[in-house]
Amino acid sequence: MRTFRRSVEIIAPPERVFAVMQDVERWHEWTPSITRIRRLGGGPFDVGARALVRQPKFPPALWTVTDIQPGRSFTWVSRAPGLRVTGVHTAAPSGAGTLATVGIDIEGLFAGPWARLTRAITERYLELEARGLKARCE
């Protein structure tokens, strides 16, 4: 497994940060790493919720929520042949506000080559997401 993470201190309560995180259809408003996210099937953002994510330089990806801790974190998964990518989003109480973490775990037969091939852009996108989230919440 290959793991990439970015954390940022945000001067806002965890509930506020998590609310912005889970409002996935608006991510394009605060991070250039996302072109568009379209929720599929309606309903609440909960386990089983799906979304089609479009990012510059990557093919569209279907993500499915696999775990959610209301007000604190959610995890979703996207699959491709030989790959399973897990997205992690957490908002934990910290000092004057929140320690927010965004990241991905890459697993599967092609995890090593894919992680090496996309490392620079993955790290850049996570940094953009962390900075954009901070700006949006503060």
**Region of residue 3 (left: phi > 0; alpha: psi -120 to 50; beta: else):** beta
Sign of CA dihedral 93, 19, 49, 38: negative
Q: What is the pLDDT of residue 73?
A: 97
Q: In the predicted model, is pLDDT for residue 60 greater than 90?
A: yes
Instruction: Tell me how far CA of residue 78 lies from CA of 3, 52, 64, 93, in angstroms.
Output: 15, 10, 7, 28
Task: For residue 42, name the pLDDT band (cuts at 50, 70, 90).
Answer: confident
Q: Which domains can be identified in the chain, with CATH numbers?
A: 2-137 (3.30.530.20)
Q: Is 90 exceeded by the pLDDT of residue 8?
A: yes
Q: What is the pLDDT of residue 96?
A: 86
- Average the pLDDT over 57-61 and give the result: 94
Please report which confidence band the pLDDT of residue 124 belongs to, taking 50, 70 and 90 as the band edges: very high
Q: How far is 62 from 64, CA to CA, in rounded Å?
A: 7
Q: To 10 degrees, the CA torsion angle through 4, 80, 1, 37?
A: 20
pLDDT score recorded for residue 65: 98
In the chain, % of residues over pLDDT 90: 96
